[in-house]
Amino acid sequence: MRFKDVFSIIGPAMVGPSSSHTAGAVRLGRVARQLLGCRPERAEVTFYGSFAQTYLGHGTDLAIVGGLLDYDTDDLRIAHSLSHAEAAGIRVELRQGTGPAPAAHPNTARIRCFAPSPSPADGSQTAVSMIDRIEMIDMTGMSVGGGTIEIARVDGFPVRFSAVYFTLVLWHSDRRGLIAEAAGLLYRHNVNICSMETGRKERGGDALTVFETDAPVPDSLLLGMKALAGVRAMRVVNLGDRTGE
């Protein structure tokens, strides 16, 4: 089921003109931002398929940059996001993808975003991202219609999540028992897992696990997760909160 609830059909509330090319694009940018864990200093956005053909007319560029600013889909500032990004010191490069899209959907974007050099006064980082800095996120996502998205790839790992649920992304090493320990932590905090997937680059090498959960992941749980041997970094993706800068 690509569409899981009534509000993926009626909704989102959004600024126009296109749910797939504007609202979905805002969400793609926002997921990339939340995976990075802070305001990026630089972002490279590559459009494929229909995104590449029509992004200018739909404001897909404005939308993805709005997402990188952590705007929600109905934020009227999206119409001027490029100047807001410039004011915030974010350099944005837009490209039209050549060759086949890295995901099998006509509305695909690849977003690479880079964290700024650490600064003790940087208030844009959350408590969690302070403890596990991520230099760069390389994410490919699809906008599958009606503002619904599907993330297809993170840092070279094939994944599949929609950011409809509370989502916890864990970068770790391929170690026996680590997933059981992580799932145990969720269990002990009374958080139900509604889907999960894991993948590794090679035996004993880098791995990535995505948990989708029914309840928000409390900070205390994140600290416990961080303490597990082999966990390099983690991020919570939650598009339900209204924030934006």
Partner 1 sequence: MRFHTLQELARLCDQEGVTIGELMLAEQCRESGRTRELELRKMTDYYLIMKQAVSEGLKEDHPSRSGLTGKDARQVHAYLQREAEATLAGAPAAAAMAYALAVSEVNASMGRIVATPTAGSCGIIPGSFVGSQTRFGWSDEHMTMGLFCAGAIGYVIANRSFVSGAEGGCQAEVGSAIAMAAGALAELRGGTPAQAVHAAGLALKNTLGLICDPVGGLVEIPCIVRNGFGAVNALAAADMALAGVRSAIPADEVVDAMREVGAAMPEKHRETAQGGLAATPTGRRIMDELYRRNSSS
Instruction: Give CA–CA dist 150/169, Å, rounded.
Output: 14
Q: Of these, 107, 125, 129, 140, which contacts partner 1 (CB under 8 A)? A: 107
Residue whose CB is less far from partner 1, 58 or 235: 58
Is 17 near partner 1 (CB under 8 A)?
A: yes
Q: Of these, 43, 64, 69, 78, which contacts partner 1 (CB under 8 A)? A: 78
Instruction: Give CA–CA dist 122/229, Å, rounded.
Output: 28
Q: What is the CA radius of gyration of the chain?
A: 17
**Looking only at residues 108 through 137 of this chain, which bind partner 1 when binding is defined by CB under 8 A?**
none
Residue whose CB is less far from partner 1, 144 or 159: 144
Q: Of these, 97, 106, 116, 244, which contacts partner 1 (CB under 8 A)? A: 106
CB 175 within 8 A of CB 127: no
What token pair was written down for 37? 């864990």
Residue whose CB is less far from partner 1, 157 or 165: 165
Q: Which residues contact 209 (CB under 8 A, 6 or more apart)?
A: 169, 170, 172, 179, 182, 196, 197, 198, 199
Residue whose CB is less far from partner 1, 74 or 206: 74
Number of residues that bind partner 1 (CB under 8 A): 44
User: C-beta of 245: minimal distance to partner 1 in Å?
Assistant: 19
Q: Of these, 59, 67, 141, 224, which contacts partner 1 (CB under 8 A)? A: 59
89 closest CA partner among 43, 125, 30, 55: 43
What token pair was written down for 24? 């979905």
Residue whose CB is less far from partner 1, 122 or 214: 214
Q: How far is CA 177 from the centre of its chain?
A: 26
What token pair was written down for 153? 């790839």
Is 140 near partner 1 (CB under 8 A)?
A: no
Pairing relationship of beta strands 42-48 and 91-96 according to DSSP bridges: parallel
In the complex, the residues that contact partner 1 under the rule CB under 8 A are: 1-20, 22-23, 49-50, 53-54, 56-59, 74, 76, 78-79, 105-107, 143-147, 214-215
